[in-house]
Amino acid sequence: EPVIPLPYPGEGGPVYPGNDPAGEPVIPLPYPGEGGPVYPGGGTVNQPVPPSTARVRFLNAAYNYPALRILVDGSRFAARMRYASVTGCGLVHSGHRSITVTNSNGRVYLRKTIPFQANSDSTVAVINTASGLDLLQIADRCCPPSNGWSSFRVVNLAYNSGPLDVIMSDGRVIYSDLRFKEAAAFKRIVPGAYQFFYADTNLAPMSPTLAIERLDPAWLGVYPPQETFGSLLLNINQGEIYTVCLLQNGSGRNNIQNLILVDQ
């Protein structure tokens, strides 16, 4: 869908999208095991942006915090971001920008300077740390899917998780030892239905250069022999870019949930 360029912060008011005048539209979280909410990522990844600007979206991965307000250089970007939600894409001037995170009453949780490269796409996640909140900038550019392929990656934003493996019930280890604050590299993936599991194993991962081939439907619904602490059933469409964000879903270790971003 065509995207109308958003104003720079301070040049026309808030730059957040959505039809909720109080903040971002939020998709309710599913029951555990049902995959997680799916958000359109803006549909603009890998597309040029105006010179001296960068495209950014913000993701709220701050577990056990109230809804957040995001300001860029003092101008509001998001009015009310609930946990496990993401804004649409907005434009900011390239260079070092001051990001402020507050609650709805103006209490400042965090103020940090983030560099934005011209003509770049990124997601800035608000994450938990031992001392409060922090910001994690994640590059969103990847090779555009072609020849019927799609792209897939997993980002671990769950503060309570240990190193985890992303596996499938047929024995393939897609990613190994994915740690908190780590974004896995994009992999090419054949469109189709997949079921992924999260576990702590000693299995060897598949080669980083190998694409993810189609999962035989007979394996759908079959759990691997390893002990798992989460799963994701996902239908991959042709030509789309999937980022699966793992978020905290409880106070216990490895209590996680999925949030899926889909770009084109």
The first and second tokens of residue 97, run together, are 């920008």
Burial class (CB within 10 angstroms; exposed 0-12, middle 13-18, buried 19+) of 239: middle
CB 59 within 8 A of CB 244: no
pLDDT in tens, 3-40: 334 444 433 333 333 333 344 433 333 333 345 566 66
- Strands 53-61 and 121-129, bridge-based pairing: parallel
Specify the pLDDT at position 144: 85
The first and second tokens of residue 213, run together, are 């081939």
- Strands 256-263 and 38-40, bridge-based pairing: parallel
Mean pLDDT confidence for 163-168? 97
> Sorting pLDDT into bands at 50, 70 and 90, what band is 131?
very high
CA atoms 67, 69, 70, 76: torsion sign: positive
CA atoms 244, 85, 51, 118: torsion sign: negative
Mean pLDDT confidence for 113-119? 96
pTM: 0.83
